[in-house]
Copies of this chain bind each other. A is one copy, B any other.
Amino acid sequence: MNTPYHNNQEFLSHISIDSVVFGFHENELKVLLLELKDLEKYALPGGFVKKDETIEDAASRILKWRTGLDEIFLQQFKVFSSPDRSKDNPTIPIIKSLIPNIDISFYNDRFISIGFFALVEYTLVNPNPDELSIKCEWVNIDDAKNVIIDHSDIINGALEALRIQLNYSPIGYNLLPQKFTMPELQKLYETILGKQLDRRNFQRKILSYNILNRLDEKRVGVAHKSPYLYEFDLENYQKALENGLKSGW
């Protein structure tokens, strides 16, 4: 078996990448994790930077290799650099057992890890485990605790970055289906923020951004009054991504 773990001479030493991929499904915010072989622990999809590539290219390549996901918009958010973070990394014994004659010194070094996050449409993802893991699966953000080394800190850091981004950037296009109701959009915001929002204030504020089109269609078969369906106005959404929401200065 040939794996990227063999070729560690092609990577920069001391630098790794970990990606937090968020999806939204059935009113839950989920994160994509790999369940490691023989460990009953999860890990973020991560890897190393080739000597001739940017960290952005590395993050895309790693995510594709580890999960089969392609063309994901990844954003770097923070570097994690505790000097102790890579001590006793439990993936090293797995690499050793996969490749018995490997020079393990590359992996035993100290690593700083560059955290990236992405928002993806849950239904489009078909996660594939890599050779270190028995499965790759969506885990509810509240249950994503049983992870290796500092991956909890990286997940929390990504969530914090996402919450901050809600203040100046539109969100939802990659997380919701094409047509959605106002309560579904509000639930997305509430799930990311971890708190309840006032229904009328939310609606007033989100409509003021001019990024939604109300359709002449209603969701049928739900309790109470049938709610209208909305879709994102992609031209205005794109403008707001570039220039910030109108609530800015």
Q: Give the B-binding residues of A (Cβ under 8 A).
A: 12-15, 49, 51-56, 76, 78-79, 81-83, 110, 112, 114, 164, 166-168, 189, 193, 197, 202, 205, 244-245, 247-249
Contact = CB atoms under 8 A, between A and B. Distances in A.
Nearest to A14: B12
A81 B110 contact: no
A19 to B, nearest CB: 14
Contact of A168 (B52, B54, B110, B164): B164
Nearest to A193: B249
Nearest to A55: B81
A54 B83 contact: yes
Nearest to A85: B54
CB-based closest 8 A-B pairs? A167-B168, A55-B81, A54-B81, A167-B248, A12-B14, A52-B83, A167-B167, A79-B114
A79 B52 contact: no
A183 to B, nearest CB: 16
Given A15-B14, A15-B112, A249 B167 contact: yes
A55 B112 contact: yes
Given A54-B83, A168-B168, 12 more contacts: A12-B14, A14-B15, A51-B110, A53-B83, A76-B79, A79-B79, A166-B249, A167-B168, A167-B249, A189-B249, A202-B249, A205-B249
